[in-house]
Structure 1
Amino acid sequence: MRHLKWFVSAVFVAVAQLAAAQGLRAAHVTREPGKATVSGMQKVTATVEKIDADTRTVTLTRHDGKMIDVQLGSKARNFDQLKVGDVGTTAYREALTLSLKKGGSVEASMQETPQVERAASGEKSGGRVGREVKVTANVVAVNEKAGTVTLKGPEGGMMDLKVEDPVQLANVQAGDQAEAVYTEAFTVPVEPAQHK
């Protein structure tokens, strides 16, 4: 349950931050009975300032002037094509879907699935990396007065989840299950430096 508690707490904090993030290009919320989804995207542009081929470390300067070092592992293709002055725009996308599963029929669980797409050999550097985390928890109690649902996670621990919408809360009962699916992905296409 430690993982579920961390995950659910982290997801709700992340969703609040996502909605308020600077540079956010799009945020979208959808609701329907027993289901809600929050998704958004943020873009950050950085320029390659320095490349250390021995350590496979690239020093980037963000649009705000802050410099960061990124070490690219041996699985990053086309490292040798990177040049000082190249520009990369990282698109960060994340989404959280919470669904109510009436009369829960599956075992409480947590799964994390990495998602990686690399640039093809010979193409421009870049790629996409992300993950999907899916948590299924059992509803063991509903407290309408407090507006909470008590969940029991895959490791047996318990936590209370606040449900703001009374219509959604009225639809939940002990024996149901809550499923949270969180996805995030970073896409990094790199464009060659513009020479004058």
Structure 2
Amino acid sequence: MTLVVEAIDKASRSVILKNSQGEQTKIIAGDEVKNFDQIKVGDQVIASYTQELMMTLKKGGGALRQRVDSSQQGTAAAGQKPAAFEAKEVAFIADVQQVDLKKQIVTLRGAQRTVRLKIKDPEQLKLIKKGDQVEGVFSEAIAIAVVPAPAKAKK
């Protein structure tokens, strides 16, 4: 997603952003936003978000349910336009509690919570049985960067 900086109020650290449909949103940049003074009207704010889930079926189960969380963060260096990223990853082993072939839903019980997942491929779903386990990794990341306004073309 790309937004354009429409207005800046340095006293309140607020920024008005406009999307491609012309809709405006006001945000307050907290103290954690470094280099706020580098933001200029016309700059672009680029945000991206990704998610990924990879799982492997462990027939018969038997391992302990577990969850291991990890994360990374980063921000822009002094003097650069504001930017930041955060990436989180959860590695897990979960028990298969229920398989609903009709609704294509599998219920997994992990170390901290129970989730229901829709499985798109019915042939893969047929391989999963109550009592099996799933080993997997869930990852998500968000990155936000302010980039200079594009140069205006000369006529």
Give the TM-score taking structure 2 as reference length.
0.72
In 1, Cα distance between the equivalents of 2:81 and 2:21?
25
In structure 1, the gaps of 5 or more residues are 1-43
* 2: CA distance, partners of 1:103 / 1:131: 29
Residue aligning to 1:125: 82
The CA distance in 1 between the partners of 2:47 and 2:113, in whole Å, is 38
Q: Where do 1:28-177 residues align within 5 Å?
A: 44-110=1-67, 112-142=69-99, 149-154=106-111, 161=117, 163-177=119-133
Identity within the alignment, %? 38
Higher relative contact order (CA 8 A, sep 6+): 2
Listed one character per residue, the Cα deviations across residues 150-170 of structure 1 (whole Å, up to 9, x for unaligned) are 43343576x665545343234
Higher share of residues assigned helix: 1
Given that 1:115 and 1:132 are in contact with CA atoms closer than 8 Å, whether structure 2 keeps it comes out as no
Aligned to 2:37, the other structure's residue is in SS state helix
Aligned residues: 152
In the other structure, the counterpart of 2:142 is 186
CA distance in 2, matches of 1:135, 1:163: 18
Compute the TM-score of the two structures, normalised by the length of structure 1: 0.60
Structure 2: stretches of 5+ with no match in the other structure: none
Q: In structure 2, the residue corresponding to 1:127 is in which secondary structure?
A: strand
* Distance apart, 1:67 and its partner CA: 0.8
166-175 or 148-157: bigger deviation: 148-157
Closer, same or farther: CA 112–140 of 1 in aligned 2, 3 Å = same
- For 1:49-88, what per-residue CA distance to the aligned partner results, in whole angstroms no more than 9, with x for missing partners? 2223333222111111111122222222211111112112
Q: Distance in 2 between matches of 1:130 and 1:69?
A: 25
- Once the two structures are TM-superposed, the CA of residue 110 in structure 1 deviates from its matched residue by 4.7
Q: Distance in 1 between matches of 2:2 and 2:102?
A: 47
Structure 2 CA distance for partners of 1:93 and 1:151, relative to 1, 3 Å: closer
Q: CA RMSD in A?
A: 3.2
Q: 1:175 to 1:84 in 2, by over 3 A?
A: same
When residues 71 and 180 of structure 1 are mapped into structure 2, their CA distance, relative to the original with a 3 A threshold, is farther
Q: 1:47 to 1:160 in 2, by over 3 A?
A: closer
Q: Say whether the 8 Å CA contact 2:67–2:112 is kept in structure 1.
A: no
